[in-house]
Structure 1
Amino acid sequence: MSHWMFTEEHEMFRKSVRAFMEKEVVPNIEKWEREGETPRSLYKRMGELGYLGIKFPEEYGGSGLDLIMEAVFTEELAKCGAGGVAAAIGSHTSIAMTNIWKYGSHEQKQKYLVPGIKGELIAALAITESSGGSDVSAIKTTAKRAGDYYILTGSKTFITNGVNADYVIVAARTREDPVHRNVSLFIVETNSEGYSVGKKLKKLGWRSSDTSEIFFDNVKVPSENIIGNENEGFLYVMENFQYERLTMALGCIGAAEKALELAIKYSKERIQFKQPLSEFQVIRHKLVDMAVDIEKARNITYRAIYLYNKGENCVTEATMAKVYATEMVNRVADQALQIHGGNGYMMEYPIQRIWRDARIQTIGGGTTQIMYEILTKRLGILS
Structure 2
Amino acid sequence: MESIYITPEHEPLREQISRFIAREVEPHAQAWEDAGFTPHEVLLKIGAAGLFGLMYDAQHGGADADALTNLVFAEALSQSTFAGFIITMLVHTDMASPHLHHAGTAAQKERYMPGVIAGNTITAVGISEPGAGSDVTGMRTKAVKDGNEGVLNGTKLFNANGVLGDLFFIAAKTGSARHAMSMFIVEKGTPGFTVGRSLDKTGWLCSDTAELVFDKQVIRQRIAMLDAKVRAARAYLYHCAWRVTQQHDVVQDVSMLKALTGELVNEVVQTCQQFHGGMGYMRGMPIERVCCDARILAIGGGATEMMLDEAAKRY
State the shift of 1:198 in Å. 1.3
State the shift of 1:13 in Å. 1.6
State the shift of 1:36 in Å. 0.5
For the residues of structure 1 that align with 2:12 and 2:167, how far apart are their CA atoms? 34
For the residues of structure 1 that align with 2:26 and 2:70, how far apart are their CA atoms? 20
State the shift of 1:148 in Å. 2.1
For the residues of structure 1 that align with 2:200 and 2:80, how far apart are their CA atoms? 22
For the residues of structure 2 that align with 1:197 and 1:16, how far apart are their CA atoms? 34
TM-score by length of 2: 0.66
Q: Which runs of 5 or more structure 2 residues have no equivalent in the other structure?
A: 212-294, 301-315
For the residues of structure 1 that align with 2:13 and 2:209, how far apart are their CA atoms? 30
Superimposed CA distance per residue, residues 297-331 of structure 1 (whole angstroms, 9 cap, x where no aligned partner): xxxxxxxxxxxxxxxxxxxxxxxxxxxxxxxxxxx
For the residues of structure 2 that align with 1:132 and 1:108, how far apart are their CA atoms? 29
1:212 to 1:76, Cα distance in 2 relative to 1, 3 A: closer
Superimposed CA distance per residue, residues 195-228 of structure 1 (whole angstroms, 9 cap, x where no aligned partner): 1111110111100011289xxxxxxxxxxxxxxx
State the shift of 1:112 in Å. 1.4
1:112 to 1:41, Cα distance in 2 relative to 1, 3 A: same
Trace 1:69-218 onto structure 2 (pairs within 5 A). Answer: 69-177=69-177, 179-180=178-179, 182-211=180-209
Q: Partner letter of residue 146 of structure 1?
A: D
For the residues of structure 2 that align with 1:124 and 1:208, how far apart are their CA atoms? 15
Identical pairs, percent = 35
Contact 1:55-1:62 within 8 A present in 2 as well:
yes
For the residues of structure 2 that align with 1:209 and 1:114, how far apart are their CA atoms? 23
TM-score by length of 1: 0.54
State the shift of 1:34 in Å. 0.8
Contact 1:162-1:212 within 8 A present in 2 as well:
no
SS in structure 1 opposite 2:155? Answer: strand
State the shift of 1:2 in Å. 2.9
Task: Say yes or no: does 1:61 pair with 2:49.
Answer: no
Contact 2:204-2:210 within 8 A present in 1 as well:
no
State the shift of 1:58 in Å. 0.2
Contact 2:201-2:210 within 8 A present in 1 as well:
no
Q: Which runs of 5 or more structure 1 residues have no equivalent in the other structure?
A: 214-336, 343-383
Superimposed CA distance per residue, residues 221-278 of structure 1 (whole angstroms, 9 cap, x where no aligned partner): xxxxxxxxxxxxxxxxxxxxxxxxxxxxxxxxxxxxxxxxxxxxxxxxxxxxxxxxxx
SS in structure 1 opposite 2:150? Answer: strand
Contact 1:54-1:65 within 8 A present in 2 as well:
yes
Contact 1:169-1:186 within 8 A present in 2 as well:
yes
- Relative to its length, the structure with more strand (as a share) is 1
For the residues of structure 2 that align with 1:140 and 1:113, how far apart are their CA atoms? 29
C-alpha RMSD of the superposition:
1.9
For the residues of structure 2 that align with 1:208 and 1:2, how far apart are their CA atoms? 33
Contact 1:198-1:212 within 8 A present in 2 as well:
no
State the shift of 1:70 in Å. 1.1
Contact 2:53-2:62 within 8 A present in 1 as well:
yes
Contact 1:96-1:169 within 8 A present in 2 as well:
yes
Superimposed CA distance per residue, residues 62-121 of structure 1 (whole angstroms, 9 cap, x where no aligned partner): 011111111111011122101001111111111111111011111111111210100011
Contact 1:123-1:161 within 8 A present in 2 as well:
yes
Contact 1:200-1:212 within 8 A present in 2 as well:
no
Partner in structure 2 of residue 39 of structure 1: 39
Trace 1:1-383 onto structure 2 (pairs within 5 A). Answer: 1-177=1-177, 179-180=178-179, 182-211=180-209
